[in-house]
Structure 1
Amino acid sequence: MSEGNEQRPLRKDAVINRERLLAAARELFAVRGLDVTLNDIAHHAGVGVGTAYRRFANKEEVIDALFEEALQDIAAVANEALTEPDAWAGLVMFLERSLHMQFGDRGLNQIMNNAALGRDRVSDARDHIAPLIHQLVERAQEQGVVRPDLDQSDLIFVQLGLSAIMESSRAIAPGLYTRYLTLFLDGIRTDRSDFLPLPVRALSAEETHRAMTRERDVS
């Protein structure tokens, strides 16, 4: 048997193990955020720690791989939104679906929005996603369904703010971010004769305090 033939099963095993590790990382990050180790990921995937370190040098490489997947998924949503003849419906669909992707996944939310995770990821997001968002906004302006001074950066910053609401209120009112998304949508549309119904109630003063202080040391 040739050396090339001997290596083929190993290459196939390497691909399978890499996918198992990424699947395990997705599951752990979704529930626990990024505060897991590569050892945790290996155990959850059912592979040896040594195997994990052969596929990924550290947890950062796992995060990089998942970030690239997330960019591709969000880009796919944006491209689908651009095929919607009604530019307003496409814009709303993009915001709702891209935010929903983060809503159920603490790890994705942190990967996409944690500034401490590196400028390269911000640059990748800018290069892949920003042009698509620009097209969504431009189409909506051409159809006259959003205010003419709306900028693609407005959508990016609104998503950033909504992700913070999502993270702080997840344990108390998981859908709270949709209330503020609706308020934003009412603020940019031009055909408003009335207001969109808010999908969830506002938090009480006590609930707001709990949401804002839940991770702080109150001792």
Structure 2
Amino acid sequence: MSQSSATRDRLLEVSSRIKDIAFGKGLLEKKRDAFIRAMEGEKKLFYELQDQYRKLCSSIAAIYGLIRVYEGSHTIDLLRLQHPLLNLRLFRESLMGCRYTRFESEPSEIEHRFRLDMDPALSSLYIEELLFLLEQAESMLWRYITLRSKIQAFERELRKTNLKINTLEHSLLPSLSEEKKKILEVLSERERQERYAIKKLTGKKKRK
């Protein structure tokens, strides 16, 4: 920075920028803290749902094994034939400027997807329990995927916010503070020289 650019106007401009950047940094820190709180809540729900889903999958696997043993693979083939394509809906949502995708299956599809066109007398309780568990698993699966999508979006936005905060804190603010310090030093030295020149000129006038 040249001494010619060290003016009071420049000092006011730099001071104003420091104030604005500090204010913006404070807002970003509040946003970061809000993201952290929201993410902690979503992660708690995610891990609880993950545990429930794993237990449900274990139950499905056990019932599936029993059906294969006692009912035979032809029953599994019938279940597969009765399973139409899944219609999935995607919703783009936003929270504090963070965009994520919410997944849902068509409401009308869930209750009809696993119905069997077979004589109830020919099927066992294992079949009914498997169908019940599969319906539960499907509903839980999309909530699980949506939560994971939401958490990943929060993590990306949190990284971006932390990067902005670090840039302001460790790059822009130190640079502007250093410039302000140099301007103050130049202005202080300039005022000292001016006072010395005035004092010297006053002394010459007194001697005359």
TM-score, normalization by structure 1: 0.21
TM-score, normalization by structure 2: 0.22
Task: Pick the structure with more strand per residue.
Answer: 2
Structure number with greater Rg is 2
**Larger RCO, structures 1/2 (Cα 8 Å, 6+ apart):** 2
